[in-house]
Amino acid sequence: MNSKISLLLVVTVMASIIFGVFYSYFLLTISENDKMAINEPNLKSEFESIHKCQCVAFRLDDVQGYWLNEVQIAIIETFQKKNVPLTIGIIGGEKFQFGKDLKISNLIKNRLAENPSFIEIANHGWNHEDFSTIDKKIQSELIKKTNQRLYNILDISPKVFIPPYNKFDNNTIIALKENNITHFSSMLETSTPPYMFEGISPLHFPETATTGKIDTTLGIFSKISNQETLDSIKDSSDKYGFAVVTMHPQEFSIHEKNTAYTNSVDWENIEELEILIDKIQKLNLKIIFLSQINQNVSDQTMDLGNEMIMFTEYKSYLNHLILGIPIGILLIILLVMMRNKIIRQKLMDMVENRGE
């Protein structure tokens, strides 16, 4: 008798577990919306791979011939003096005369020859056009023309693209791929995080801080303190894992009232730039080229993407399993009770039949 009871308990438990497994699987299949919610773009940042570059890239836009060339040189020389890398966005079109103004082009060429680890060349368009308004074929041709011109002058074919006005579209991405561009940089307002460190091409690391602000009405840059720029750098490093600081020559030029920017260096702003670089280095943030951001992921990197989703699915499965087993036990008890009731009824019927 005892052995029969033990066997019945074992069978009940096993059957309950099997039922729980199938029941939990059934619940998971009808709750795909839960799993889809994890992969929704607006929630993806919570589960995305968390990379920390702990680095800062400076980009100098609008480099060209003759225009504010003394100011451009002063900025480049500041980075050379500090022994920190700088990414330079050069406009390639002939009317911008890069290569004809030997003062600026020879300086860059010589610095590249002396130590290429301090200057990176970026493509900044042909005629500083708004790429978001141009079809793909022309975009690709303009990128190719600028790359070819810069190669002819500097013996370098850029792998980085800085869209003029920070504007681009899906056709720009295709055009960049066609021209073997591996990285580009617009600005936060024209892009959507998270910013991937791997798995896509080209990689996008937008501007997250600036050394000056432009008044779009007057077309004049106003000064930003080094501390304000540093605060933006720290904020973007925490939020995105990197920082890109954009500079324009106008910010470091003396601007006379009611006149255009002059080719006179604003040494106070150059000093602000030097202080900013010193502060960044004191924070142990590495200053690198824009194209090196994805290559400088720190040891603190945590890839939580698949693990978080797997854990969420496992937790959901476990919850369903825990719920399924007791339901299975109750169902089996009910089945046993029904079976016993049927057996008793049959026995009673047999007794009644014999009595007759």
pLDDT score, position 302: 40
Q: Which of 5-9, 42-46, 111-115 has the lowest mean pLDDT?
A: 42-46
Answer left, alpha or beta for residue 185, where phi above 0 means left and psi between -120 and 50 means alpha.
Answer: beta
pLDDT band at 219 (very low <50, low <70, confident <90, very high): confident
CATH of span 55-295:
3.20.20.370
pLDDT score, position 27: 53
Q: Which of 16-20, 25-29, 133-137, 194-198 has the lowest mean pLDDT?
A: 25-29
**pLDDT at residue 319 is higher than 80:** no
pLDDT score, position 304: 41
Q: Which of 278, 280, 228, 224 is nearest to 251 (CA)?
A: 224
Model confidence over 292-309: pLDDT tens digits?
A: 999 977 645 444 444 444
Token pair of 217 as six digits = 């009405």
pLDDT band at 135 (very low <50, low <70, confident <90, very high): very high
Q: Which of 160, 166, 172, 159 is nearest to 208 (CA)?
A: 166
Model confidence over 50-60: pLDDT tens digits?
A: 567 889 999 99
- How far apart CA 318 and CA 331 sit, in angstroms, is 20
- How far apart CA 304 and CA 307 sit, in angstroms, is 5
Peptide bond into 202 cis (omega under 30): yes
Higher pLDDT, 195 or 316: 195
pLDDT score, position 8: 56
Q: Which value, in Å, is the radius of gyration of the alpha carbons in the chain?
A: 33
**pLDDT at residue 140 is higher than 70:** yes
Domains in the chain: boundaries? 2-46+305-355, 55-295
Give me the percent of the chain exceeding a pLDDT of 70: 73
pLDDT score, position 191: 83
Token pair of 258 as six digits = 């009611």
Give me the percent of the chain exceeding a pLDDT of 90: 59
For the chain, the straight-line distance linking the first and the last C-alpha, in angstroms and rounded, comes to 32
**pLDDT at residue 30 is higher than 50:** no
Q: Highest mean pLDDT range out of 165-169, 190-194, 216-220, 349-353?
A: 165-169
Q: 181-184: which pairs have CB atoms within 8 A and are 24 or more residues apart?
A: 181/123, 181/143, 182/291, 183/159, 183/290, 183/291, 183/293, 183/294, 184/160
- How far apart CA 101 and CA 72 sit, in angstroms, is 12
The predicted model gives 311-320 an average pLDDT of 49
Token pair of 64 as six digits = 């060209």
The predicted model gives 142-156 an average pLDDT of 97
Helices in 45-89 by DSSP H: which ranges? 69-82
Main-chain dihedrals φ then ψ at residue 122, nearest 5 degrees = -120, 145
Main-chain dihedrals φ then ψ at residue 223, nearest 5 degrees = -75, 150
pTM: 0.71
- How far apart CA 266 and CA 255 sit, in angstroms, is 9
Q: Which of 308, 259, 244 is nearest to 57 (CA)?
A: 244
**pLDDT at residue 80 is higher than 90:** yes
CA 305 from chain centre, in angstroms, equals 14
pLDDT score, position 24: 56
- How far apart CA 122 and CA 144 sit, in angstroms, is 12
The predicted model gives 85-97 an average pLDDT of 97
pLDDT score, position 43: 36
pLDDT score, position 44: 41
- How far apart CA 354 and CA 356 sit, in angstroms, is 5
**pLDDT at residue 47 is higher than 50:** no
**pLDDT at residue 214 is higher than 90:** no
Question: Would you call 47 helix, strand, or coil by DSSP?
Answer: coil
- How far apart CA 111 and CA 21 sit, in angstroms, is 68
The predicted model gives 82-97 an average pLDDT of 97
Q: What angle do CA 98, 204, 212 make, to 5 degrees?
A: 60
CB 188, CB 207: distance < 8 Å: yes
CA distances from 334 to 15, 19, 323, 337 (A): 13, 14, 17, 5
Helices in 258-304 by DSSP H: which ranges? 267-282
Q: Which of 132-146, 261-275, 310-324 has the lowest mean pLDDT?
A: 310-324
pLDDT band at 187 (very low <50, low <70, confident <90, very high): very high
Other residues' Cβ atoms within 10 Å of the Cβ of residue 318? 11
